């Protein structure tokens, strides 16, 4: 897998092009994201999410400091803003298939966390069943950031990133983590194809992007799931001969104000 380099124009959709992300101190926080979205109305803005975390304590944190930090990190990882198309699509698809939520979460987190995005390269370099440990990830990140992080920060990143890829299903094991194969669903495929669309791909190219590589599925399986996603109205799919056309009228819709 080649390193994914984002064009700055994607920032208007909610992508984050540069920076170190949240993995110096947090994972993708899948359990917290599930709690937050389950306790919030479909159309919830960033201030309302903040209120839910800080004042209603929907994440069940013990102190004000941890509540504030949790909101900050979730905001960094997912945007938590309906104006950001990549996060709005998460809300559109989130409740449709619970089993797809880990993949949707890591896909969104990869749009916003450059370090997590980079580490996909090491995750997909190893074979299913091979070991992927925190020191391997720390070393890989250290080579990528060229001295911008000290050893302690790199160690933290290695542990947090390994946990994040375990939460998404790409790694398994509590202590000794090994590469595992994830299972795709129509919603996770729809979201991965949509991210490819937002980053400039069209047609058959949508099925061969960084985002679809994260789904661990052959192209024919992605097409099968795209058909199912189109039957649910999450995208429009047409395939004839060598021509593939995929549209996203629902996910790209203009919201009335």
Tens-digit pLDDT string for the chain (257 aa): 556 789 999 999 999 998 888 898 999 999 999 999 999 988 888 999 999 999 999 999 999 999 999 999 999 999 999 999 999 999 999 999 999 999 999 999 999 999 999 999 999 899 999 999 999 999 999 998 877 888 999 999 999 999 999 999 999 998 889 999 999 999 999 999 999 999 999 999 999 999 999 999 999 999 999 999 999 999 999 999 889 999 999 999 875 43
DSSP 8-state assignment for residue 141: H
Helix (H, G, I), strand (E, B) or coil at 183: coil
Structure tokens at 155: 């160690």
Supply the pLDDT for residue 3: 63
Domain region containing 101:
1-257
How many independent structural domains does the chain possess?
1
CA–CA separation, 196 and 210 (whole Å): 8
Backbone angles phi, psi at 84, to 5 degrees: -90, 115
Supply the pLDDT for residue 21: 84
Return the closest-CA partner of residue 157 out of 128, 124, 118, 211: 118
Hey, how many other C-beta atoms are within 10 angstroms of the C-beta on 232?
14
Supply the pLDDT for residue 2: 53
Backbone angles phi, psi at 238, to 5 degrees: -140, 135
CA distances from 91 to 33, 44, 45, 191, 205 (A): 11, 10, 12, 11, 25
Supply the pLDDT for residue 257: 37
Backbone angles phi, psi at 203, to 5 degrees: 60, -140
Hey, how many other C-beta atoms are within 10 angstroms of the C-beta on 79?
23
């Amino acid at each position: 897998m080649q390193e994914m380099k984002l064009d700055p124009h994607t920032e208007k959709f909610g992508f984050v092009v540069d920076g170190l992300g949240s993995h110096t101190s947090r994972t993708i926080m899948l359990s917290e994201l599930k709690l937050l979205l389950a306790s919030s109305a479909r159309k919830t803005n960033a201030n309302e999410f903040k209120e839910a975390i800080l004042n209603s304590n929907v994440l069940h944190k013990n102190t004000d400091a941890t509540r504030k930090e949790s909101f900050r990190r979730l905001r960094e990882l997912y945007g938590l803003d309906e104006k950001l198309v990549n996060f709005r699509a998460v809300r559109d698809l989130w409740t449709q298939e619970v089993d797809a939520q880990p993949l949707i979460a890591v896909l969104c987190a990869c749009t916003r966390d450059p370090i997590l995005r980079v580490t996909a390269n090491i995750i997909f370099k190893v074979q299913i069943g091979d070991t992927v440990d925190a020191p391997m990830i720390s070393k890989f990140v250290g080579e990528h950031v060229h001295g911008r992080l000290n050893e302690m920060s790199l160690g933290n990143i290695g542990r947090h990133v390994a946990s994040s890829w375990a939460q998404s299903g790409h790694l398994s094991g509590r202590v000794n983590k090994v590469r595992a194969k994830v299972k795709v669903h129509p919603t996770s495929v729809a979201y991965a194809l949509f991210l490819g669309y937002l980053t400039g791909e069209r047609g058959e190219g949508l099925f061969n992007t960084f985002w679809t590589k994260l789904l661990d599925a052959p192209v024919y399986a992605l097409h099968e799931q795209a058909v199912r996603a189109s039957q649910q109205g999450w995208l429009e799919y047409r395939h004839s001969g060598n021509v593939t056309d995929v549209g996203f009228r629902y996910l790209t819709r203009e919201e009335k104000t």
